[in-house]
Chains A and B, each alone.
Chain A
């Protein structure tokens, strides 16, 4: 970025990619996939005490078409998995995913006939958050990590970021 102070009409020169990513980074629109206990901590994160809007991510959308950050808060069962996949596919590129908590990351302490052993078995995940449930601080830290990613990779669609996956 360069600022031209000499010229009578001040203007800033930058690269388009940087300008877009800068804007995107501070206006992530999260879609909470709230299924279990972790969702309660998501509620805490958006409530006024923790105030997620400090990071520009307070515009919680419940339509996948309008959001670019999927936060999986809770246990994904085999019954839930096809729904999670559909919702992810309905989100427009570019999009990012946070697996919030032990269950979404790995199945947590539910290793049984009904629980999917991590959301990344069905969709690609960008940031995993430890904790059962993670505290609001943990989730906000994950959000800043997503912001870093956005800044660095921005215009790349999720399918290109996760090339190691057969499907995306």
Chain B
């Protein structure tokens, strides 16, 4: 389908599309920098590409045009995907796409921060992940991974001019409403820091807000407080060694990250997981989705004062943790999937235990629904709070439950089925209003759907091998390692050199607990990734936070934040 789109694009921009390729099924076109904005605008307006999911910069120091910037576009309506590439030499500006997609703002800042690609006419081109005193660009191939730079103090997000400008805006606002001039003086405004060290800001998120009375006049957000350099670390490790790092992206649903990462690398290698491994991935992923939603909902409810629900929901999670620990030895950081399969099979009796946990889940959900569904305080705190429209949500790059809460039934498990999701019978819950209430309720309903998927998967769990039969990808069996020299060599090479992933690019993705989780993998044929870019679902979502908070009060901002489910590990990577 996307092929036709590329043909139409070539006709429209005859001669200006440099090359067209289809590595691993990802349609890719290369365009001139000058034409970029035209091409993107055309794709948005005439081809229905509503969303810019990610912007990925890659550094090739040996090329004349050193940087490659990839724009990952998606049309949910027409189910298209397209990658638009531009090339740029050092210091050559790339035109900004912020006028076309709102999500471009943060994505471009990230490329600027980590690679130093300047974006012409970007409204606010500052660092985003590294601190404001950082010098150099960390993801460039010539930046040494261990070269840390200290930060002496946090950055102020509002200066005096900003406050004066905001006061002027507030004055006109007040004047417009009641006719008489009621001047707001800059000293009437109060700046308050929400976070980064505050429980309601989930540990490492920061928003600085400018208050006029109790109303948030303007908000600015800052991230990067737990930037742990996932992408640089992965260039320093083999493809298989990256697996434990993926655990710590969204640490509330580690198995989902594991499995989707494994699938992305498999896509680049060109192998497909066995039916049994796929079914196990479905089961553990849906379990992860459940525990992720549980944490999100219970923390959200605590934030708005409904503490009892925390005990009800967290105990279910705790008991699922016990089972995960039994399955893979660790509660949180599971490291369970492997490229080409899983680290080991399910244990005997796993299915019965899961079914028992799912009953506990039912009980937890019904207890909580009894407490909140018609609770006046809960409804007051959540209905019509933090509302986002469908169009804004798409433009900001929303995916997952937050997008579905606006009424769009978009789910990658349905639109681009993987691991055999097309064989399961499940619904996509949606909201209507795009507010905090709908986001919570969509998650509640999704847990019920996940429950049903797990039951179906357990009933139809295929027999057969767990791992692919290719020992250039998966470890040889231990008998071979101890019994033959070939086996020893095979193991040795896989451990020391890593899996030799063929040179090329692939974008692998799946429906994470919070939306589209993608891995853009670039290999140069060696054992380490040349570039591995994560598309974390909550990064674009958090970029809209200031927009959602403005005009409301602080308690509303807190309720909204909880329902967006921002996980700092994945946001900052």
Residues from chain A with a CB closer than 8 A to the CB of B152 are 82
Partner of A114, one of B138, B144, B252, B314: B138
Given A48-B315, A113-B149, A132-B333: A79 and B569 within 8 A (CB)? no
Interface bin, chain B: 35 or more
Q: Does A144 contact B (CB under 8 A)?
A: no
Inter-chain contacts of A133 with B (CB < 8 A): 331-333
Residue contact A114 to B311, C-beta cutoff 8 Å: no
Q: With a CB–CB cut-off of 8 A, which chain A residues contact B153?
A: 82
Q: How far apart are the CA atoms of A115 and B147 in the complex, in Å?
A: 10
Q: Mark B2-30, 1 if CB is under 8 A from A, else 0.
A: 00000000000000000000000000000
B378 contacts partner chain A, Cβ-Cβ < 8 Å = no
Given A47-B318, A49-B318, A81-B151, do A40 and B332 touch, yes or no (CB 8 Å)? yes
Query: Which A residues touch B321, using CB under 8 A?
Result: 44
Smallest CB gap from A39: residue in B? B203
Instruction: Indicate whether A83 reaches chain B with its CB closer than 8 angstroms.
Output: yes
Closest to A78 in B: B151
Report B-chain residues with C-beta under 8 Å of the C-beta of A132.
Answer: 333
Residues of B124-170 whose CB lies within 8 A of A: 129-131, 138, 143-154
**Given A47-B310, A82-B152: A113 and B569 interface contact (C-beta under 8 Å):** no
Whether the pair A40, B138 counts as a contact (CB closer than 8 A) is no
Is A113 a contact partner of B145 (Cβ separation < 8 A)?
Answer: yes
From DSSP, what is the main secondary structure of chain B's interface residues? loop
Select the residue from B226, B295, B318 with max chain A CB neighbours within 10 A. Answer: B226
Task: Please tell me if the beta carbons of A77 and B225 are within 8 angstroms of each other in the complex.
Answer: yes
Asked if B366 is an interface residue, CB under 8 A from chain A, the answer is no
- Across the interface, do A113 and B138 meet the contact criterion of CB distance under 8 Å? yes
Residues A36 and B248 in contact, CB atoms below 8 Å apart: yes
> In the complex the two chains form, what is the Cα distance from A112 to B198 in whole Å?
26
Checking B150, B204, B251 against A78 with a beta-carbon cut-off of 8 angstroms, the contacting residue is B150
- Contact call A87/B227, Cβ cutoff below 8 A: no
B196: Cβ under 8 A from any A Cβ: yes
For chain A, the bracket of interface size reads 35 or more
Does chain A have a CB within 8 A of B552?
A: no
Q: Which positions 106-121 of chain A face chain B at CB distance < 8 Å?
A: 109-117
Nearest CB of chain A from residue B145's CB, rounded to whole Å: 5
Tell which of A32, A79, A113 touches B224, judged by Cβ atoms closer than 8 Å.
A79
Contacts of A40 in B (CB 8 A): 251-252, 295, 332
Q: Which of the residues A39, A43, A83 comes within 8 Å of B314, measured between beta carbons?
A: A43
B225 contact set on A, CB distance < 8 A: 35, 77, 79-80, 83
Q: Which residue of B lies closest to A63 (CB)?
A: B198
Q: How far is the CA of A47 from the CA of B312 in the complex (A)?
A: 10
B197 within 8 A of A: yes
A-B contact pairs, 24 of them (CB 8 A): A35-B204, A35-B225, A35-B568, A36-B203, A37-B248, A37-B569, A44-B314, A47-B314, A48-B311, A48-B314, A49-B314, A49-B318, A74-B203, A78-B131, A78-B150, A78-B151, A81-B151, A82-B152, A83-B196, A111-B145, A113-B144, A113-B147, A115-B148, A115-B228
**A-B contact sample (9 more), CB < 8 A, given A35-B204, A78-B148, A109-B245:** A35-B197, A35-B203, A35-B225, A36-B569, A37-B333, A43-B295, A47-B310, A47-B311, A112-B146
